Amino acid sequence: MTHSTTVTDAVMSRRSIRAFSDKPVPLDVLKKVMDTARWTPSGCNFQPWEGAILTGEPLRQLQDKMRATPPQDPKEYSWSDPEVLPECLARLHQVGADMYAAMNIERADKAARGDFMAQNIVSFGAPAVLMVYFPRVMGPPQWSDVGMWLQSIMLLLREEGLDTCPQEFLSLYARLIKDFLGVSDESHIFFCGIAIGYRDESDPVNAFDRKREPLESKVQFLGFE
């Protein structure tokens, strides 16, 4: 994968990758990206984000534990509440239909769909995964700050020719992950994983057409000539 040379190129070439090659991710590149991402803005300079990046044997051990453990109940948090809005539910159905169509998986093929969903546990074969957590005292403004930090990381990784997939799915194993990392469940909430690696260019799941709403449906411009 070629490196992105502009911010625009990084934004436009970033997508959620769901099939990775087994090429390892260099530690020096990860340290460079994470060091640069420290300069992401945050309200009151709270810098609420925390994380751990796993690869190799520690990552395999954690994934084996998740395979052998049912998702936690109750959930760490809900990411599906916007589905009550018809437009959000329609977008969810559309991206799902496009993704499964790219893989030639029929809607009625529950087994194949379940097998693919289970690939979330192993982060679609990514050789490295960033686990993201932060203190429970952090409120919605700080969640937004963490989101900006993650966007910085994903775009900086594109600059280095790397790819990512944000995974709220991993919050289904939040307590297990925190216990593995030695992070207190009482003091910290687990947010998501970020799969990191190099995309498998040959896999159609990485190439289906993505859809976005037109600019005018989301943004107003007032007071301009």
Query: For residue 184, what pLDDT is reported?
Result: 98
Q: Which of 177, 208, 148, 181 is nearest to 17 (CA)?
A: 208
* pLDDT at position 3 over 90: no
* pLDDT at position 53 over 90: yes
Residues sharing a CB contact under 8 Å with residue 67, sequence separation 6 or more, in sequence order: 121
pLDDT tens profile 55-74:
999 999 999 999 999 999 99
Query: For residue 1, what pLDDT is reported?
Result: 57
Can you tell me the distance from the alpha carbon of 190 to that of 134, in angstroms, rounded to the nearest whole number?
7
Q: What is the pTM of this model?
A: 0.96
Q: Are 128 and 25 in contact (CB under 8 A)?
A: yes
Q: Is residue 204 reached through a cis peptide bond, with omega within 30 degrees of 0 on the bond before it?
A: no
Residues sharing a CB contact under 8 Å with residue 207, sequence separation 6 or more, in sequence order: 102
pLDDT tens profile 139-176:
999 999 999 999 999 999 999 999 999 999 999 999 99
Chain centroid to CA 72: how far?
19
Cβ neighbours, 10 Å, residue 200: 19
Chain centroid to CA 137: how far?
23
Q: In what order do the strands lie in the sheet with 50-55?
A: 50-55, 128-135, 188-197, 163-167
* DSSP reduced 3-state for 210: coil
Q: Which of 117, 133, 225, 120 is nearest to 178 (CA)?
A: 133
Q: Which of 2, 52, 17, 4 is nearest to 126 (CA)?
A: 17
* Pick among 3.40.50.970, 3.40.109.10, 3.30.450.20, 3.30.420.40: CATH of 7-79+120-212: 3.40.109.10
The ranges assigned to domains in the chain are 7-79+120-212
Exposed/middle/buried for residue 80 (C-beta within 10 Å: 0-12, 13-18, 19+): exposed
pLDDT tens profile 96-137:
999 999 999 999 999 999 999 999 999 999 999 999 999 999
Query: For residue 4, what pLDDT is reported?
Result: 81
